[in-house]
Structure 1
Amino acid sequence: MKRILTAILLVAFLLLPGLILGNDPMAEWQPKFDPRGAEHTYLLSCVGHPAIEGVRVGFRIRDRVWEETKGRLFVDYRPMSQLGGEMDVIGKLRMGAIHGMMSSSVAAPNVSPRLGLVNLPFLVGSFDQLQQFRNDAELFEKYGAEALRSGIRVADFTAYGGYGWATRTPVTSLEEAQGVIFRIAQAPVNIDMYRAWGLQFTVMPWPDVPQALQTGVITGLDHTPTVTGTANFFNTAKHYTQIDYAQGLYIHLINERWLQRLPEDLRETLLRIIAEESHRARLAGQEQDQREIAKARAAGVSFYRLPEQDLAAMKGQVEPVIKQWEDRIGADFLQQVRQRLNN
């Protein structure tokens, strides 16, 4: 109940200013067609904001599916937590009450531990590694195999940049990072990672972050430039340390039972369009990340890279974390990924 209330309050916070002014903030995203005549509806959820390319893709999928199925299948896309928080939506996805979700890579391991692969530090850290991983058909099939056995298909994913540190004070070394209180995601692998690094951190729900950062309850944010910029956190955190220890993803998950009930031609069209638009969104996400960095620099935000010896130390410190997650992800699969991505 607490999670549901938090999700409702977050949506209200996002939507209320526009409604007071007589503007619906989702108006520009409404379909240019009448979906009431559709034979089938695909209810798709996402907690993210469509200002992010990796989230906006849901609307592109919606419009293309409508056009190419000649109005037979309507993708009813609901971003911005309209259908609830991620843990609630995962439960509804399993039951089939919601047909699909674009889950953050942080929440996705709750569907299948193997989906936590992309959260492991310095494994799929660069955009090129991410593309290499996605384009390897064998690796991608194995990545989603465990989820599929539980009734959830991993259709594809989009990206929103490499993770680093947005901070109120400069962090140019691992020693300087010791003085920062970081907000990290509510994910076990992130907790293990920060403990291994010996850094101060707090696990905090996303709606609490703006006030905490402004008041100094936290002095750093573990996230990507795209999310930091589109959420306006660079107004408070004027420093960013680029680490790229992992790529932020929205993983497109579908209830397999619902999918198999679709007519075969509609199923094939939906999956093809998801794959094509997700590929385009990954490229657009990389470009957006660079735009947000340039925009932040122009606004006076300073960007840094850690010295090579500090990065080497961080990689060594988290190696036990990767070892610890081997059994959950699959030791053979993890080793295969590391070999093919030259880790």
Structure 2
Amino acid sequence: MSNKWMRLAAVLCLTTLMSTPALALKSQYKLSMVVGPNTAWGMGAQRFADLVKERTDGRINIKVYYSGALFAGHQTNEFTLLRQGVADFSLASTINWSPQVKELNLFSLPFFFSQPGSLDAVVHGKTGEQIFARLEQLGVQPLAWGENGYRQLTNSQRAIVKPDDLHDLKIRVVGSKLFIDTFQALGANPTAMPYSEALTALQQGVVDGQENPVAGVIVPYKLWQYGQNQLTVWNYVVDPLIYAVNGREWRAFPDDIKQAIRRSAEDAAQYQKALARVGLDDGAALAWLKEHDEVPDVTDPYAVLEENGVTITRLSDDQLAAFKAKVAPVVDQWTDTIGAKLVDTARTDQQQAR
């Protein structure tokens, strides 16, 4: 081809590219949520939607779909639906995505994050970077880390102070094999079911107990009204959340909108984490909310439980050691599934933060 024709072809190609319209923005985007709006989790999702609308001058409008409305209550399908574009955005628990993203099972290793501050060290360290990179490879753009808190155990039968106390108790767990393996190792009878079915199962006695964060789920859903009058504080699993967007949608956004969305996620995550930690830390969360003039009607969740007749059992280090010994084989087995290198990186992040 002569230089003349090559120049003409280049001009035609450039003209075509310049005349191709950008992908139109949607009039409304869908954000997927597992729980309801009256939780720190739900409030964090709405805060994100509000900030995005404000910072994009109304160009990006996000509607929050609470209580599993976009995935018919089957929460472990959420990651797939986000990848497919059924949902555009999500504020999701790593637990619910772990069946499709094996690396996220890291956060469900029993007693791996039992020390205060260990989660922050990992998600803001090299481990968090590697996990976010993996999500990008799978077609989901992560934006920021939120938190649902430590998961504690409730039941309607008896106080749990040693593994034998769990013998044959029917415990509702999320549909993750790691949770089933953990509770089987402890001698319980785990039953996997969506949270949309859990309240009815508790009320009817189909299951004896469940495990969830106190401020994130147990208090907002008033589980004492469903017979859950025993609570064991054992910090056995922590529950980080991820603000994320479908990868194709993300790539289609102009740079200024991307910047606004990412900044909104980071700011909403700070607010959401503070809500989740009120009454559960040394007062730093409430101080942050007051400093930013964001003081919702929050109280110590453990005080709320006691006021409603819930017996709270706090395990000592010696008591916890017996539970840790029972689940040690589960940790070893799932370390291989998750990836030993990633688990080692998480341990290093924790050690460097001490």
Query: What TM-score do you get using the length of structure 2 for normalisation?
Result: 0.79
Q: Corresponding residue for 2:324? A: 315
Paired residue type of 1:146: R
Structure 2 counterparts to residues 165-244 of structure 1, below 5 A: 165-168=153-156, 169-178=158-167, 180-226=169-215, 227-235=217-225, 236-244=227-235
> How many percent of aligned residue pairs carry the same amino acid?
23
Q: Which has the larger radius of gyration?
A: 2
Paired residue type of 2:267: E
Q: 1:147 to 1:63 in 2, by over 3 A?
A: same
Q: Corresponding residue for 2:283? A: none
Cα distance in structure 1, aligned partners of 2:161 and 2:326? 18
Q: 1:253 to 1:64 in 2, by over 3 A?
A: closer
**1:171 and 1:177 in contact (8 A); partners too:** yes
**1:161 and 1:285 in contact (8 A); partners too:** yes
Are 1:78 and 2:65 counterparts?
yes
1:49 paired residue among 18, 23, 36: 36
Q: Corresponding residue for 1:260? A: 251
Q: Corresponding residue for 1:3? A: none
Q: Deviations over 1:297-317 (max 9, x none)?
A: 122211112343331122223
Q: Deviations over 1:15-58 (max 9, x none)?
A: xxxxxxxxxxxxxxxxxxxxxxx766432111211111122111
Structure 2 counterparts to residues 154-169 of structure 1, below 5 A: 154-168=142-156, 169=158
1:146 paired residue among 134, 145, 165: 134
Q: Corresponding residue for 2:236? A: 245
Q: How far is the alpha carbon of 1:337 from its aligned partner? A: 0.6
Q: Corresponding residue for 1:325? A: 334
Query: What TM-score do you get using the length of structure 1 for normalisation?
Result: 0.82
Q: How far is the alpha carbon of 1:265 from its aligned partner? A: 0.8
Q: Corresponding residue for 2:309? A: 300
Q: How far is the alpha carbon of 1:334 from its aligned partner? A: 0.7
> Does the residue aligned with 1:212 lie in a helix, a strand or coil?
helix
Cα distance in structure 2, aligned partners of 1:88 and 1:332? 27
Q: 1:116 to 1:316 in 2, by over 3 A?
A: same
Q: Deviations over 1:72-128 (max 9, x none)?
A: 221222222222233444333222232122222221113411112111111223552
Decide which moves more: 174-183 or 224-233.
Answer: 174-183
**2:77 and 2:96 in contact (8 A); partners too:** no
Q: 1:111 to 1:203 in 2, by over 3 A?
A: closer
What value does the CA root-mean-square deviation take over the aligned residues?
A: 2.3
Q: Which runs of 5+ in 2 are unaligned?
A: 1-24, 281-298
Q: Deviations over 1:180-223 (max 9, x none)?
A: 32112211110111122222222233233223323332222122
Cα distance in structure 2, aligned partners of 1:173 and 1:115? 28
Q: 1:192 to 1:181 in 2, by over 3 A?
A: same
> Does the residue aligned with 2:206 lie in a helix, a strand or coil?
coil
Q: Which runs of 5+ in 1 are unaligned?
A: 1-37
Q: Deviations over 1:118-156 (max 9, x none)?
A: 1111122355222222332x2211122222111112222
Q: How far is the alpha carbon of 1:157 from its aligned partner? A: 3.0
Q: Deviations over 1:204-244 (max 9, x none)?
A: 33233223323332222122223122112112111100011
> Does the residue aligned with 2:152 lie in a helix, a strand or coil?
strand
Cα distance in structure 1, aligned partners of 2:241 and 2:183? 22
Q: 1:67 to 1:208 in 2, by over 3 A?
A: closer
Q: 1:273 to 1:118 in 2, by over 3 A?
A: same
> Does the residue aligned with 1:159 lie in a helix, a strand or coil?
strand
Decide which moves more: 192-201 or 233-242.
Answer: 192-201
